[in-house]
């Protein structure tokens, strides 16, 4: 764990990010979507947890006024259960608050109990449901908020 560090995501990390996406989601974001986020979206802030020279987790958020919308979040399956998700989420929240964000929101798949536990443990609370939000499965999303 002492080799792990939080850093901004760069284009050079996209091979690792694509692998994490494929291993984590039934409908992964394409590389081009991440490129657009990194190079064109002025609202976007993306971070990784690096183990040596390899990205093993990533998270992205959009800064909209004083709210941060967490858009992406995943940990490589081989690194789960080690507190890396918590490290990443805390780093994102710390970065957001130091840049004027007063609240954070996200959607999470209703069956993803591990992620819901992580978010709840960091102070996020359920605020609603988006019916059929996930087009690949038709599953609902739970909307969660952290208000500081």
- Catalytic amino acids? 107, 119
Q: What is the spatial distance between Cα 31 and Cα 55, in angstroms, rounded to a whole number?
A: 15
Q: What is the spatial distance between Cα 22 and Cα 55, in angstroms, rounded to a whole number?
A: 14
Our CA angle for 22, 145, 80, nearest 5°, is: 35
The 10 Å Cβ neighbour count of residue 29 is 17
Across the chain, where does the E strand assignment appear?
A: 4-8, 44-51, 54-64, 67-75, 103-109, 125-130, 141-147
Could you identify the residue written with the tokens 């939080």?
A: 6
């Amino acid at each position: 764990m002492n080799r792990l560090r939080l850093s901004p995501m760069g284009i050079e990390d996209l091979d690792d990010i694509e692998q994490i996406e494929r291993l984590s989601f039934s409908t992964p974001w394409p590389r081009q979507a991440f490129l657009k986020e990194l190079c064109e979206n002025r609202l976007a802030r993306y971070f990784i947890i690096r183990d040596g020279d390899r990205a093993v987790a990533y998270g992205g958020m959009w800064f909209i006024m004083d709210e941060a919308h967490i858009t992406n979040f995943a940990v490589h399956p081989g690194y789960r259960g080690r507190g890396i998700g918590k490290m990443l989420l805390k780093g994102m929240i710390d970065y957001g608050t130091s840049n004027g964000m007063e609240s954070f929101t996200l959607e999470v798949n209703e069956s993803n109990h591990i992620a819901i536990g992580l978010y709840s443990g960091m102070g996020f609370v359920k605020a609603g449901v988006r019916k059929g939000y996930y087009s690949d499965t038709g599953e609902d999303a739970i909307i969660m908020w952290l208000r500081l």
